[in-house]
Chains A and B, each alone.
Chain A
């Protein structure tokens, strides 16, 4: 049973067509890595999956629900923003620039969603937040404000914040691209653990090593379309398409 099913997704910004009919299927428990040159539409596609961007054509289904719509009497009705918010609860997202709430401590960042979206009691949410910080190796940083943390630590708090909503799907938008090289490892380690625990993940990344290690499927995108997709051994080691070969020659 596929958890995410995207069919013919199209998206334009003004006159620029960023996505030209993207099809993608992700099964529950799978890790899918989106690779490709910048401007290929990887991040835009990821943002469409939790409706941070609206799509112009096609459909995206997450857990049987059309993202941004509700099905009634054979028709899709566009959802209000607060109803979209309800859909997004089940989809965690990690951003390139972390986007932690600067006015709240690490543990408050993690507890924010449970308390103010899920209406969990503050005490219980803080307890769970501490456990999640422990899971990403930051138990001792609970009381720190984001600006007191390194980029790698901030990104791990951001992952904990997303996990606090108990998502069934996690989206990673170039989670290590804004990090100093020596901090990339600590974030990837957390993501590897998460993958091992069976989390369904879609990861936009330039980390080919990570893709090789944990991806069940690697999707290579160019110019708003999927050029090649398959298991890492095939796409990364024996790419059939010339564009894939050219790209891998540059990044490897």
Chain B
């Protein structure tokens, strides 16, 4: 108690105005570490750039490969395959997610098994399995209404679509499930209370709100999908990598053609990121930030 009073007294004296104190100059903290860190990073980048500039790469040839006919066909095929596989995966994913939440135990069990299987196998393996389907089923027939040779039906595109799409649908099912679970149960009750049927409730109330949670990981996955189409090169589908190899096989400019393909991947991925941004903004409406 005594010391407290003594201290209080001292503070009072200090505050009372000592002109020397009022004139003290402030010295800002110098962040030396930041300067050193920044310099190191710039140094490394400079060295890397210098090395690349000096490398045995014919940069002048890259723009030509970038707009090469075969490369452009590869680009279109890459984008079409990614879009088709992702679209199918989203539809299937919603269905599997709904089955997972079903009151029917058999449906729940099936959905869990579906995710377990298609998420568990490497995509490349799945693509190869589909592509070689003809080895085990010579013909594909739907209850006798339709019959066709497997070889004709399962082209490289179809095999890649099935492999990429089914794998992705398992991930989409989990993403959609998380999105549906994120919607407050009070929302469903409010919808019921105004007489909405379960289907209308899902379409008008639950899914639009779940989208806010579903979009970011889906955008992430779509970017993965765009790059994942490169695996279809293994079964001879003419996507960007296959196109690059195709061109390089004639002129042996392997690095230059791969760089042109790399540039296209960056373009396509950037466009997808911008699209994701606008989708997020649309579905984020009505949410306080």
Contact = CB atoms under 8 A, between A and B. Distances in A.
Interface stretch (B82-90, B154-162, B174-182, B194-202): B194-202
Interface residues of A, number: 33
B209 A102 contact: yes
Interface string A70-95: 00000000000110011011011101
Given A86-B195, A145-B285, A147-B288, A101 B190 contact: yes
B287 A52 contact: no
Nearest to B203: A116
Given A102-B209, A117-B196, A95 B286 contact: no
Given A117-B200, A145-B285, A103 B209 contact: yes
Interface string A163-205: 0110000000000000000000000000000000000000000
A147 B287 contact: yes
B192 A88 contact: yes
A144 to B, nearest CB: 10
A88 B193 contact: yes
Given A100-B190, A147-B288, A113 B209 contact: no
Interface in A37-91: 50, 52, 81-82, 85-86, 88-89, 91
A101 B206 CA distance: 10
A82 B209 contact: no
A162 interface: yes
A117 B196 CA distance: 6
Given A112-B204, A116-B204, A165 B287 contact: no
A99 interface: yes
Contact of B197 (A85, A99, A100, A162): A85
Given A101-B205, A102-B286, A165 B189 contact: no
